[in-house]
Structure 1
Amino acid sequence: MNTAALLFISFAALLLLNVPIALSLGASSLIAMVVTGLPLDMFPMQIYANIGKFTLLAIPFFMLAGNTMEKAGISDKLINLANKFVGHKTGGLAIVGVITSCFFAAISGSGPATVASLGVIIIPAMINAGYSKGMSSALMATAGGIGVIIPPSIPFVVYGAIAGVSIGKIFMAGIVPGLLMGTALVIASLIMAKKMDIEPVPKASAKERWEAFKDAIWGLMMPVIILGGIYGGFFTPTEAAAVSAVYGILVGVFVYRKIKAKDLYDLMVESAIGSAIVMFIVAAAGLFAWFCTTEGISDMASDLLLSVSGSKYMFLFIVNIILLIAGCFLDATSALYIFTPIMLPVATQLGYDPIALGVVMTMNLAIGMITPPVGVNLYVACGVSKISLGQISKAVVPYLIASLIVLFLITYVPDIILWLPNMMGIK
């Protein structure tokens, strides 16, 4: 049995035995190392090398910032703000859900966190207003995927660390695709809402809108501080993550006063656990990717992909198909570590920008969050609305189609991705 077959068969076998993905990646790599005779002292060295990167320090800080702002009740304030401005329109609550997801994405950087924080409020509100359980849950599950496209995005941090590209630039590159995805979800929601007898809420007065804006301003400032600080040259993305964590704590404790001193310990523990899970995946997936590179598996896969694709357009089509399928089974971090070393060299050789590739890969994996059997956003939304996976899987189809349209648009017109960072001259 050759090395590649051993590695992937052992990985697949462990997955079929319901072993967690991170453990499957690490164990299959270790098995392959033993069989091929690689020195086992490389195992801990590579584990440390994968997680001992300054760039990855952004992950625990962004997690702490997102958890803090969630605890501070910013999700309620963002929903109220969006509702005051568009709640009275046809399909208003659906629009509120998408707009709020875009705002909250710029705070949390996590898809499941966006679904969990906003879904507990918006899904019941939509159901009470006459929307079906399936549509309400499917919309919030899909909108949660925007959380990994609009910066700050944890998968963007991971991709930047793997590909060696500017995290600041890929952050900026994710803004337009994220907004396009939000627009597509709004259009899909409006089409579906017209078929339902939805009672619109009264239009808010100018005073009510101003009060809602003032109430939410501290939360809205979070992405301004993060992105403004990075692109103003005041701090690096990693330092921006630390600043946002401190800002979140100060706002939660002294402005909104929802966070007490005793809550800080729980916030730290929750953020540490979430970060440890991501870092465990990073360590195991990085080991898997290192073994593939060391044994020449990545190069063989790249050469095969290049020979099969033939042209840039066919290559991009194959990339999307592979990642959409992979997203059904792998989390974003694992998939990025496995596929980036294979796809990036081919993209570079074909003249496709690495930043654009990172956004395309991440959007594919964001869509994977709503595709069974490992559609994590679907499970979170199901838990909130108490419906079955079968019900939500059927209801998510229109939103899946809308997301795929945006995906293929940005894939084949990469200037949509690169326009904003290029216009601002970000390197």
Structure 2
Amino acid sequence: MTPDIWMILAFAGLLIAGVPVAFSLALSGAVGIVLGLSPDMLATLGTNTYNSIAKYPLIAIPLFILTGLIFERAGVALRLVRFAQALIGPRHGGLALVAVLVCMIMGGMSGSGPADAAAVAMVMLPSMTKAGYPKPFSATLIAASASTAILIPPSVALILYSIVVPGVDLRALFAAGLFPGVLAGLALLVPAMLVAKRYGWEGTPVEGAEKLTVRGTFREALPALFAPVLILGGLRSGLFTPTEAAVVAVAYGAVVGLFLTRELTLRDVWELLGEAAIISGVVMLIIALAGIFAWSGTMLGTFRHLAEWIISLTDNGVLLLILVMLAVLVAGMLLDAISIYLIMMPILVPVMQHFEWNPVWFGILLAMNIAIGQFTPPVAVNLMVTTEVAKIRLEHTIGWALLFVVAMGGALALVAIFPSIALWLPTVLGYSV
């Protein structure tokens, strides 16, 4: 067998053995270097890991992670829930609609599905349970809705995509993700409302909901609602770059928590800095060690060989796109978004260029696919978070998860068939697509 095959087999074997993704990438990359190049080339490991993370746009990732944590601790989710409840009023499926809307708005602050799921689940699950919603349904709906966070800007996944795919404008990606993200949320909402009406959930008003007024709750939620406007407005006006937008978001979140909601203290800020550092450290470790795998695969020609093999499967671009989407869906069920981008993009970029797929549109399709994987067992990161909050087993949610997979899969198909859903907004805004 050739060295590149040994490298791929080593990576698969390490994953099956339970070795963390970051170390599986590094060790299999080292195997490729030793067998295909020279043991002396192991001296490049330090350079490759450094070069992988020494990229200015990556600064935005830990900052947006910190933004999500700050808004979560600042009581923003609760205020958004109250405003949405007052706006929608008592009706069958009302709380399901609230959960989806709040998840989408929170996604416009954190860019992280698990953080979004945790913040909303803590607030929504008790209310939904009192209203008659089964915990498995509620946990799955919130997990699925929170997955839209990697579509609605600012998205950590899209930031990484703009780095691994050369020549893609991050502002165009952010703009392109907005309508597909909303479409995905609506796709989840339709079956949720129908199921709630079918089983008669929330037949009586939620206790305390009648005391909520639109004007009062809007005033409380206004700082939270202004956050996405500040981030996207600043990007559109050219006032700051995406990386600078992350700094502005952190500063704004701290001001909201410390001085407006007053649910955040300086001690909390210090704790959140440590928590964000830990989460960011895990993310950056994966990116850094993936640099070894990427360099080894490039030098050995592994990615080129795999891309050529994929292209040789069929000359039909539509059929191949379907195959690629299915492969990414399976990967999304097993791996996190960051690992998928780092592992698969070196292979998929040549395929994308061969069939002349628009890179912005293709990036949104990948993000939608990965979003589905975030609430699809067995490794459903969002679902793990919400089931832990709900104190139920992951297996109890499988039926509901499949329902929402089909729903969001329909939204994915629409974006694939009609690329203008994703490309219209960045084109109108004058970004390069």
TM-score, normalising length from structure 1? Answer: 0.97
- The aligned amino acid for 1:191 is L
Aligned counterpart, 1:409 = 414
Number of equivalences: 427
Find the residue that maps to 1:396 and give its secondary structure: helix
Aligned counterpart, 1:111 = 113
- The aligned amino acid for 2:155 is S
Q: Are the equivalent residues in 2 in contact too, given 1:109–1:153 (CA < 8 A)?
A: yes
Aligned counterpart, 1:136 = 138
Aligned counterpart, 2:123 = 121
Q: Are the equivalent residues in 2 in contact too, given 1:87–1:95 (CA < 8 A)?
A: no
- Matches of 2:15 and 2:341, distance apart in 1: 18
Aligned counterpart, 1:147 = 149
- Of stretches 97-106 and 408-417 in structure 1, the one that deviates more from structure 2 is 408-417
Point out 4+ residue stretches in structure 1 off by more than 4 angstroms. Answer: 202-207
Identity %: 36
- Matches of 1:80 and 1:309, distance apart in 2: 52
Aligned counterpart, 1:25 = 25
- The aligned amino acid for 1:26 is A
Q: Are the equivalent residues in 2 in contact too, given 1:115–1:377 (CA < 8 A)?
A: yes
Question: 1:413–1:206: structure 2 CA closer, same or farther, 3 Å change rule?
Answer: farther
The one-character-per-residue Cα deviations of 1:155-188 (angstroms, maximum 9, x if unpaired) are 1000001112111110110000000000011101
Post-superposition offset of 1:4: 2.5
- Matches of 2:292 and 2:371, distance apart in 1: 23
Aligned counterpart, 1:293 = 298
Q: Which runs of 5+ in 2 are unaligned?
A: none
Aligned counterpart, 2:289 = 284
Aligned counterpart, 1:311 = 316
Aligned counterpart, 1:160 = 162
Q: Are the equivalent residues in 2 in contact too, given 1:344–1:357 (CA < 8 A)?
A: no
The one-character-per-residue Cα deviations of 1:88-139 (angstroms, maximum 9, x if unpaired) are 2320000000000000000111000111110112122112111112211110
Post-superposition offset of 1:208: 1.0
- The aligned amino acid for 1:158 is L
Q: Which runs of 5+ in 1 are unaligned?
A: none
Post-superposition offset of 1:357: 0.8
Q: 2:270 aligns with which of 265, 270, 281?
A: 265
Is residue 182 from structure 1 mapped to residue 182 from structure 2 by the alignment? no
The one-character-per-residue Cα deviations of 1:318-365 (angstroms, maximum 9, x if unpaired) are 110110111121111111111112112222221211001111111111
Is residue 201 from structure 1 mapped to residue 200 from structure 2 by the alignment? no
- Matches of 1:79 and 1:73, distance apart in 2: 10
Post-superposition offset of 1:385: 1.1
Find the residue that maps to 2:213 and give its secondary structure: helix
Q: Are the equivalent residues in 1 in contact too, given 2:4–2:36 (CA < 8 A)?
A: no
Aligned counterpart, 2:44 = 42
Q: 1:67 aligns with which of 59, 69, 77?
A: 69
- The aligned amino acid for 2:286 is I
Q: CA RMSD in A?
A: 1.6
Post-superposition offset of 1:196: 1.4
Is residue 372 from structure 1 mapped to residue 384 from structure 2 by the alignment? no
- Matches of 2:109 and 2:286, distance apart in 1: 23
Q: 1:358 aligns with which of 345, 360, 363?
A: 363
